[in-house]
Copies of this chain bind each other. A is one copy, B any other.
């Protein structure tokens, strides 16, 4: 059994992590942390876990956690994450970091978009980006995996097969992304209370969302060319799910069927990508680790549609996918129910 800890266990992604890890045959959950000092039981914070998990959340230091775990899923906010990760690694843990702190490989870009000096910048160049569909060979040996953002993985998975095969122009990509409200986290903010979000729809952070450089970096790395994207996120009155509608230009005149074939070939053997013929709906991937995608030609554009559950394939599910690869387990372990 592999001893596993979760740092920052009270949020929504952590809840999904716990649910997946409880059914994982190789995992023993040994520690959950929170910055609260009252040591709440995890099933009082997430009552859905009653009868399943009665661990207490403790306010432990990274060093204390390192004594309790072989692997740590770090579900802390950015900045808090880079303060904990070095101690976890030096304590001998392998780390899957769900924050943004290790996703960008250039500290200057991090500082520009996140407004913080990166205090562990030396590690950025070598950190593995944990998107198994693109970087499966690097993940098994990694001690630190940067788990992708939810918008980013949904966008990247739809675009990568087209960019890597040279089918679309890398400099003319518009990503219109829509997310359920759980993507905003479990903190109480006026903007996410029910009466403000329900029965409403709006864009936010137009041109300034922090997932923008992450998408561009990973697609550039994967396809070996400079990729630029326009990215606009929207808040949709539903709890879970992301749909990215992406407008691209084909470099050659292929039919929809030919393009779908090329995408299927690209993802051959990847268990969590479903290239579908119909227009995918978020409800069909919510609760799963799948990314559903298709394409449509519209005027002079190729429209790529891609959707995921933001908390699973966009966070906890892909984290366990990375965990499985890091331990030589079947990639789907605990992820198909």
Contacts and interface: CB of A to CB of B under 8 A. Distances in A.
A48 B307 CA distance: 12
A48 B238 CA distance: 18
Interface stretch (A85-93, A109-117, A279-287): A279-287
A336 interface: yes
A283 B282 CA distance: 19
A198 B238 contact: yes
A3 interface: no
A315 interface: no
B245 A176 contact: yes
B279 A206 contact: yes
Contact of A181 (B178, B189, B194): B194
A51 interface: yes
B203 A50 contact: no
A288 B245 contact: no
A55 interface: no
Contact of A200 (B187, B197, B274, B283): B283
A207 B297 contact: yes
Contacts of A193: 181, 186-189, 192-194
Interface residues of A, number: 77
A12 interface: yes
A264 interface: no
Interface in A265-319: 271, 274, 276, 278-288, 290, 292, 296-301, 303, 305, 307
Interface stretch (A67-75, A121-129, A131-139, A229-237): A229-237
Contact of A47 (B203, B204, B278): B278
A180 B193 CA distance: 13
A287 B283 CA distance: 14
A195 B198 contact: no
A247 interface: yes
Given A174-B301, A238-B237, A198 B194 contact: yes
A217 to B, nearest CB: 15
Interface of A: 12, 19, 23, 47-48, 50-52, 174, 176, 178, 180-182, 184, 186-190, 192-204, 206-207, 228-232, 234, 236-241, 243, 245, 247, 271, 274, 276, 278-288, 290, 292, 296-301, 303, 305, 307, 336-337
Task: Give 4 nearest A-B pairs by CB, closest first.
Answer: A207-B298, A200-B283, A202-B281, A206-B296
16 contacts: A23-B337, A48-B287, A50-B290, A174-B174, A178-B178, A180-B195, A186-B193, A188-B188, A188-B193, A194-B239, A199-B282, A200-B238, A203-B279, A207-B298, A237-B237, A247-B247
